[in-house]
Structure 1
Amino acid sequence: MSGPAAGGATGIVETTSTSGFIFATATGVEVTVTEASSTKYTRGTHRASARAVKKGASVLVLGTVDSATIAATRVTVQPRGDGGAAAAEAAGVIPFQQGTPSQAKSVGQIPDYAEGEGTIVSGTTADKATKAAQAVVPGGINDRVVQLSGGEYEVHNISVNWPHHVFVSNDFKVLGYE
């Protein structure tokens, strides 16, 4: 990967400022969000403004990811959301711990692929794949979306020990993860 790419993360807002906010994922990763005048906001399924982002709110943030910073293009405030905590626990997401090796297990259907193959995608396609991945396997930061030769997407997951890859079908349903 040569630089920032489309992705996102889910979590609970910790602090807000005039230029963005900081939230923590279900595994405790702190993510800094920068907002722009072009950032779009929704609360549930309704349009909202930046004022909808408050301390304690559950959010899904999509945009350009550079490590633990997201330049937000879309922020969804999830009423009654838990920042992905229940889904992360159900999926068995393992928080990052220095020196702890990643699990060598997989769940569901894993497409036939070689790591590093495929084409990095952006825009609506990357947003849909990231949103699907975050709904099933939140806790990490999705830092890029790659379209594989079979048409599926590999959503790359960082800041967790497991899973590192979430596979999404071409109709944006999670197939599996490893």
Structure 2
Amino acid sequence: MSYAIIGFGAVGQALATMFARKSIEVAVASRRSPEALAPQASAIGPKVVPQSLEKALEADIIFLAVPFWEHREVAKGRASWKGKTVIDVTNAYGVPVEDLGGLPSSAVIARTLPGARLVKAFNHLPAAALAADPAIGGGRRVIFVSSDDDAAATPVRSLAEQLGFAPVWLGKLAEGGSLVQARDKSWAPLIFQDLFKKGA
């Protein structure tokens, strides 16, 4: 299984840190060239590999960690998204509800990535919490997972476990998943809730 993070700002770097901690190779890409990303990637760890956007989008599981509307530019990076699992780490805070057509923000993204298997996860915590060791006091930090594709969510939950987190399944995007999707200028109830699962 191969992994890539699209977007290398604070959240993208936090995600890369999660992989580096477990010595799992991950590609990173952004609007900047791989050479421009290299110093920060190297500082995070040797398993963090800067690539072009085109190359990074060949990964099996792709983390989308860009400002919300930039997903439209990322979508142009592949002619077909069939078979790709995309983990939506974006937040649509400040995006007017009418601009989303009444849909969950992840559903809007899914429409621009035809054929992709979209999973919402890793978006409810600030970058500093994502980058921190998820194992604390005999427990593990919770990561919420939701998707309209149960089969796509399974490897994402397994990856969260592999990275040291405790995945909690919320169900479909418009149901439990709505608890982690910002709308307009309101944060969903579970966003910023830094929870731990004891004895896990």
> Comparing both chains, which one has the higher relative contact order based on Cα–Cα distances under 8 Å and sequence gaps of 6 or more?
1
Query: Could you tell me the TM-score, scaled by structure 2's length?
Result: 0.28
Query: Could you tell me the TM-score, scaled by structure 1's length?
Result: 0.31
Task: Return the structure number with greater helix share.
Answer: 2
